[in-house]
Chains A and B, each alone.
Chain A
Amino acid sequence: MAAKKPLELSRSVQHFTFNPQTPSTKSGDTTRMNLFQAVNNALDIALTNDPTAVIFGEDVAFGGVFRCTVGLQDKFGKDRVFNTPLCEQGIAGFGIGLAAAGATAVAEIQFADYIFPAFDQLVNEAAKFRYRSGNQFDCGSLTVRAPCGAVGHGAMYHSQSVEAYFAHTPGLKVVIPRGPIQAKGLLLSCIRDKNPCLFFEPKILYRLAVEQVPVKDYMIPLSKAEVVVEGHDVTLIGWGTQVHVLHEVCQMAADQLNVSCELIDLVTVLPWDKQTIINSVKKTGRVLIAHEAPITGGFGAEIAATIQKECFLNLEAPIYRVCGYDTPFPHIFEPFYLPDKWKCFDAIKKLINF
């Protein structure tokens, strides 16, 4: 049998190694869960403790295309976990109304790529409801969940990262977990948060990301970035899957360049934790931001603009962004498209040698 060409190999192997979080000692009992199980567990807890909570979306009744809602209809009944027709704009609008009327509405959009018919509802209705009514009405108990990001073979309509479109909309919250422990705690926070939240789950992590997740009901605060690795030479910023890519880059930088990187998971894209980032940049003076979404207008641009304003005199080098290219997410060029560890490592070299 002929040897596989390198390109074929890279199409079947993911571009990162998952770096599991270990639960803190105060977590109590834990159990092994992957990302979809953690999401499932969070939804279970939410529905158990909040009698007004309902889950709806396409195909959620049989468990959902990524198994996030497995068993929930059996446990909570058809009036609390139900399928909607294929109508994202309808799902979002319906969810907003349900939330405004006092229910805790958890809507699922089957793939983040399909969220655009709902864009008007989310941007024009959900985000502005409280503001335009002077706080007489709100849809804060709405949470919209959707799988996002590259999955190795998703091409244009199953791979998009959409956070930048929504980050531009005050009134919404946008959250992206990087693992099961985070997913459970953050999803519960989103569901209980008094503002409409968009929770984007990196779909490649659904099965791949396995951690020991605390079984109890716990929440992780929103708008708090997490310093995953402490360091003092370069600040690396990412979210979701990209944090795992950057984690490996930290190791490569330490081993090959003797460079100590500080890795920050932004976690909440909107409203984002400026202070943690600023503190880090004031320490290191060099910044690399990486995300899968295309570079122009990507959320990295917002972070970079803020950093240069707040930390201008601390910067030792220009801020680098390693992102997807300005093209639609490609079908066959995915390995070239992604901001992989090699591109990020290369950027670190440029930062150090500036």
Chain B
Amino acid sequence: MSVTNQRLRVGLTVGKQWWRRVLSPMSATSGHRMASSSANFQLKPFKLHKLDESPDTEVTLNRDDALKYYREMVTIRRMEAAANALYKDKTVRGFCHLYSGQEAVAVGLENSIRKTDAVITAYRAHGWSWIRGVSMIGVLAELTGRRLGCARGKGGSMHMYNDNFFGGNGIVGAQVPLGAGIALAQKYRGTDGLTIALYGDGAANQGQVFEAYNMSKLWSLPVIYVCENNGYGMGTSAERAAASTDYYTRGDYIPGLWVDGMDVLATREATRFLADLCRKGKGPFVMEVATYRYHGHSMSDPGTSYRTRDEIQEVRQTRDPITSFKDKIISTDLVTIEELKDIDNKIKKEVDDAVAIARSEPEIGAEELYGDVYMI
């Protein structure tokens, strides 16, 4: 009796990505490795601040999602690697902040919210832009400043946008009160939508973040403030910049949750938990995701003058979000190595194709210099 193969197809059209899976029923025997359809995992405990309940620490992952999350994290990793290379050969200029190492945050969060929920973040936004629906070409061509870029090349690395994705902001902290405002609009419109407003451990010390906390608690806004704590604000470690590095408690009167940001299942579970509460009108919340960035703050920062190479290596080897997820899904027979290799190859091709377009597309005309300043 034969085992029908699973097939994963990845197609690419300019501006859109889609994929389709053909799932066949499992059969019982044969010498091939059996794929299971779901597996259970134990998560690290969450830390709670003024919350009576915790998200589940026993979670279930099915095959579909395993492949999806793997694919999404690897796509972001490879896309950022391509951005790295493009910057190094000066095809991308300006400032470029890479997300490598933090993939489990974007993937876990996005997979727990609706497309109609809103997200706003700071400048480490390429991964977020892609997962919020900007095509890979839209991201890479925006970096290279060409017309197929998300903002037609006018914004660059820090300014990519899409429906319900409000960027992409250069001045850190400034996006947080904006997030509160978006949440107010959602509440006003009665959509039971929510907003995720992200910021880093550095920006967590900006005054306007606390102004946003106060306003959103006063008005019970459906916003989840997510602090992506990667340990460093540019070159200053979190302990040396913050009197309290328990960022999930910094909202004080706002309930908070600490999550292992290197575990996509944890970020997913935490977001599901808080999103559900938000939609019931119990927001706002603060969520701290403990994560790590492999590259420097930006491409202008080697990232080694304020931390050791050993530290970076250690995280890569023991806590990498993709490697650890891969181990989980392989060892529980959710997927096979061959399937993952297949995904890797397809992503590589997709990235290479996108890079070629990002390199060769022209820029928009100089007449656009004055465009989009005012609206008549």
Binding site for B on A (CB under 8 A): 7, 11-12, 58-59, 61-63, 65, 83-87, 89-90, 110, 113-114, 116-117, 152-158, 325-328, 330-333, 336-337
Asked whether A89 lies within 8 Å of B207 as measured between CB atoms, the reply is: yes
Asked whether B171 lies within 8 Å of A59 as measured between CB atoms, the reply is: no
Asked whether A328 lies within 8 Å of B205 as measured between CB atoms, the reply is: no
Closest to A66 in B: B300
Closest to B233 in A: A86
Asked whether A83 lies within 8 Å of B369 as measured between CB atoms, the reply is: no
Beyond A86-B234, A155-B158, A336-B369, 5 additional contacts (C-beta under 8 Å) are: A12-B90, A59-B236, A83-B240, A86-B205, A325-B370
Asked whether A158 lies within 8 Å of B95 as measured between CB atoms, the reply is: yes
Closest to B145 in A: A332
Binding site for A on B (CB under 8 A): 90, 93-95, 145, 153-156, 158-159, 170-173, 202-203, 205-208, 233-236, 240-242, 300-301, 305-306, 363-364, 366, 368-370, 373
Complex formed: what's the CA distance from A166 to B87 in Å? 35
Asked whether A331 lies within 8 Å of B206 as measured between CB atoms, the reply is: no
Say which residue of B207, B236, B370 sits within 8 Å of A327 (CB atoms).
B370
Asked whether B369 lies within 8 Å of A59 as measured between CB atoms, the reply is: no
Q: Which residues of A contact B240 (CB under 8 A)?
A: 83
- Given known contacts A113-B171, A158-B95, A87 and B366 CB-to-CB distance under 8 angstroms: no
Q: What total count of A-B pairs have CB within 8 Å?
A: 98
Asked whether A86 lies within 8 Å of B90 as measured between CB atoms, the reply is: no
Say which residue of A59, A152, A328, A330 sits within 8 Å of B93 (CB atoms).
A152
Asked whether B373 lies within 8 Å of A155 as measured between CB atoms, the reply is: no
Say which residue of B306, B368, B370 sits within 8 Å of A62 (CB atoms).
B306
- Given known contacts A11-B93, A157-B171, A336-B366, A85 and B156 CB-to-CB distance under 8 angstroms: no
Q: Which residues of A contact B202 (CB under 8 A)?
A: 85-86
Q: How far is the CB of B184 from chain A (nearest CB, A)?
A: 22
Q: How far is the CB of A12 from chain B (nearest CB, A)?
A: 6
Q: Which residues of B contact A330 (CB under 8 A)?
A: 154, 369
Asked whether A114 lies within 8 Å of B171 as measured between CB atoms, the reply is: yes
Q: Which residues of A contact B90 (CB under 8 A)?
A: 12
Q: Which residues of B contact A84 (CB under 8 A)?
A: 241
- Given known contacts A58-B236, A61-B236, A331 and B94 CB-to-CB distance under 8 angstroms: yes
Complex formed: what's the CA distance from A326 to B371 in Å? 11
Q: Which residues of A contact B145 (CB under 8 A)?
A: 331-332
Asked whether A156 lies within 8 Å of B170 as measured between CB atoms, the reply is: yes
Complex formed: what's the CA distance from A58 to B201 in Å? 13
Asked whether B369 lies within 8 Å of A154 as measured between CB atoms, the reply is: no
Q: How far is the CB of B196 from chain A (nearest CB, A)?
A: 21
Asked whether A332 lies within 8 Å of B233 as measured between CB atoms, the reply is: no
Asked whether B207 lies within 8 Å of A86 as measured between CB atoms, the reply is: no
Complex formed: what's the CA distance from A89 to B235 in Å? 20
Q: How far is the CB of B374 from chain A (nearest CB, A)?
A: 10
Q: Which residues of B contact A116 (CB under 8 A)?
A: 171
Asked whether B305 lies within 8 Å of A63 as measured between CB atoms, the reply is: yes
With most chain B CB atoms within 10 A of its CB, the pick from A85, A153, A332, A337 is A332
Say which residue of A61, A63, A153, A333 sits within 8 Å of B94 (CB atoms).
A153
With most chain A CB atoms within 10 A of its CB, the pick from B171, B208, B233, B370 is B171
- Given known contacts A59-B236, A65-B234, A331-B154, A325 and B94 CB-to-CB distance under 8 angstroms: no
Say which residue of A62, A117, A153 sits within 8 Å of B305 (CB atoms).
A62
Q: Which residues of A contact B366 (CB under 8 A)?
A: 333, 336
Q: How far is the CB of A337 from chain B (nearest CB, A)?
A: 7
Asked whether A87 lies within 8 Å of B205 as measured between CB atoms, the reply is: yes
Complex formed: what's the CA distance from A83 to B232 in Å? 13
Q: How far is the CB of A146 from chain B (nearest CB, A)?
A: 14
Q: Which residues of A contact B153 (CB under 8 A)?
A: 331-332
15 contacts between A and B (CB under 8 A): A58-B236, A63-B305, A85-B202, A85-B241, A86-B202, A86-B233, A87-B207, A117-B206, A154-B94, A155-B158, A157-B170, A158-B94, A327-B369, A332-B154, A336-B366
Complex formed: what's the CA distance from A350 to B10 in Å? 60
Asked whether B301 lies within 8 Å of A86 as measured between CB atoms, the reply is: no
Q: How far is the CB of B211 from chain A (nearest CB, A)?
A: 11
Closest to B202 in A: A86
Asked whether A326 lies within 8 Å of B207 as measured between CB atoms, the reply is: no
Asked whether B234 lies within 8 Å of A59 as measured between CB atoms, the reply is: yes
Asked whether A327 lies within 8 Å of B206 as measured between CB atoms, the reply is: no
Q: How far is the CB of A165 from chain B (nearest CB, A)?
A: 15
Closest to A327 in B: B373
Asked whether A337 lies within 8 Å of B369 as measured between CB atoms, the reply is: yes
Asked whether A86 lies within 8 Å of B173 as measured between CB atoms, the reply is: yes
Asked whether A86 lies within 8 Å of B206 as measured between CB atoms, the reply is: yes
Closest to B155 in A: A331
Q: How far is the CB of A25 from chain B (nearest CB, A)?
A: 40
Q: Which residues of B contact A337 (CB under 8 A)?
A: 369
Asked whether A153 lies within 8 Å of B206 as measured between CB atoms, the reply is: no
Complex formed: what's the CA distance from A327 to B373 in Å? 6
Asked whether B305 lies within 8 Å of A83 as measured between CB atoms, the reply is: no
Complex formed: what's the CA distance from A63 to B235 in Å? 10
Complex formed: what's the CA distance from A65 to B363 in Å? 30
Top 10 closest pairs, chain A to chain B, by CB: A153-B93, A85-B205, A157-B170, A332-B145, A331-B156, A86-B202, A85-B241, A59-B235, A333-B369, A153-B94
Asked whether A325 lies within 8 Å of B369 as measured between CB atoms, the reply is: yes
Q: How far is the CB of B138 from chain A (nearest CB, A)?
A: 15
Q: How far is the CB of B72 from chain A (nearest CB, A)?
A: 28
Say which residue of A89, A154, A326, A332 sits within 8 Å of B95 (CB atoms).
A154
Q: How far is the CB of B302 from chain A (nearest CB, A)?
A: 11
Q: Which residues of B contact A331 (CB under 8 A)?
A: 94, 145, 153-156, 159
Q: Which residues of B contact A62 (CB under 8 A)?
A: 235, 305-306
Complex formed: what's the CA distance from A12 to B159 in Å? 22
Q: How far is the CB of B140 from chain A (nearest CB, A)?
A: 15
